[in-house]
Structure 1
Amino acid sequence: MSDYPPQERIDMLLILGDCRINYRQAAALYQVRYPNRRHPNAAVIRDIYLRAQQGNLVRRRQSHGYDENDVRVLVVLAAVYLNPHISSYQMERQTGIPRTTILRILRHHGYHPYHITLMQVITTNDMRMRLQFCRWAFVYYVMFSDEATFENSGQLKRHNCHYWADVKPFWYRQIDNQHRWSINVWCDIINGYLIGPYIFDGNVNGQNFSAFLRNELPGLLEDVDLYTRLRMWIQLDGVPPHYARIVRNYLNRRYNGM
């Protein structure tokens, strides 16, 4: 039931009497008489009427402030200090203090029942295997590559720009969208070799990225030793140009699905 001021509840009951305890008619008449107020429905008026019959016309909120010298506060705080893992049910059984009172005291003093986070156990052998994998994959045979877009106007992330003020400062920055241009640059690293950069003509898509892998990449890898090239893996993320069917088909044929 919504919190309505006492005077509005009394007006609802008076209108309900005029309507001979017809809740629907009372709700409609209340809207006509008080158009600028919140308009309760028939269920709300019925609830208020039943509460009034029980002597609860106005709901009074109870204050649960606990003084620091209250023995219950000392007992509850001592219990969680001695055993932070204790449950409210255990405290209720051990102290005789009602569980609802225990929870109110803990909330009043800023305590929150945080839950444990489960993590996969790491053994000594796991650390050795990770180190072995890093020495094999990340340093020698995986070709890590990516593209970056460079614009003549620069990039501005408005999320990182703040202007604290008590009034709106109308903070502006001029941008020249009409004469904007950009270039897409590809680069990679493998076994200590820096490959590239290679500049794409226009946006990167599946067609020109496939043509780059087929026609340009072999020439860029000329300076990489043959031993590395025969064993290298190509790392690509899942952006559309990298995941295009024409790109995957070529890589699977050229590099045996690796």
Structure 2
Amino acid sequence: MSLSDTQRIEILILLVCGDKTRTQKQVCEIFNTKYPDRRVSQSTVSRIENKFREFGNVTDIPKSGRKRILDDEQKLYILLDIQDNPHKPTRQVAADNDVSKTSMLRLLKNEKYRPYKIHLVQELNDDNPDCRLEFCEIMANRCQDNPLFIKKTFFFLMKQHSYWSTENPHWTMEANTQYPEKVNVWAGILNSQITGPYFFDGTLTGARYLDLLQHFLVPELRILFPDDDNPNEIDRNIWFQQDGVAPHFSLE
């Protein structure tokens, strides 16, 4: 989204207010605090100031289309814009500098810039190392007893992020593990065989969990692990362990 003429004039006023002159960096900080949804970079402030000094106004001249061939000044502004905010979407960078996205991406490629992807890491608390060690010790002991593993997990959808730079910044971000939207999937690993996956339609409830047991899991176990004396029943040595979540003890 482009700046309005009023916002551009406000930037000029912030640059020179009475006898006080501010730096472009100071103007960016003040403006971005007031307009957090419409942040500007130092290159944007510089471009507005230069336009006013050259033409006496800040209004954009109507053009038939965005430039596909960039001059040296435009290249400099784009690179400064990227350096000021490497997370800024390329579409917005192109719009702010009034150039085509294709030309801007070509410039970044020629300057050896690459869109490095973020690596999400789990948020850790002070007691996490002790908890992890305790978990490893418990699981190591269980593995010696050759247990059957039936666990549950979540698959999260995360928005794609990029960091434009000439070198890999090894960018990471702590991600809360329970807040994004999720798809509920059940799968079981019994000995060397995989059962599932089974996708729940919506939030897991007692009725949907019962449907999983009656119409999916029990028939699957009858086929995979039939009882020696009664092939139509599940092997009596198989136990299905549940925890204390609400759907597991629902009265539905």
| Structures share fold, TM-score greater than 0.5 | no
Comparing both structures, which one devotes a greater share of its residues to helix? 1
Q: Greater Rg, structure 1 or structure 2?
A: 1
Calculate the TM-score normalised by the size of structure 1: 0.28
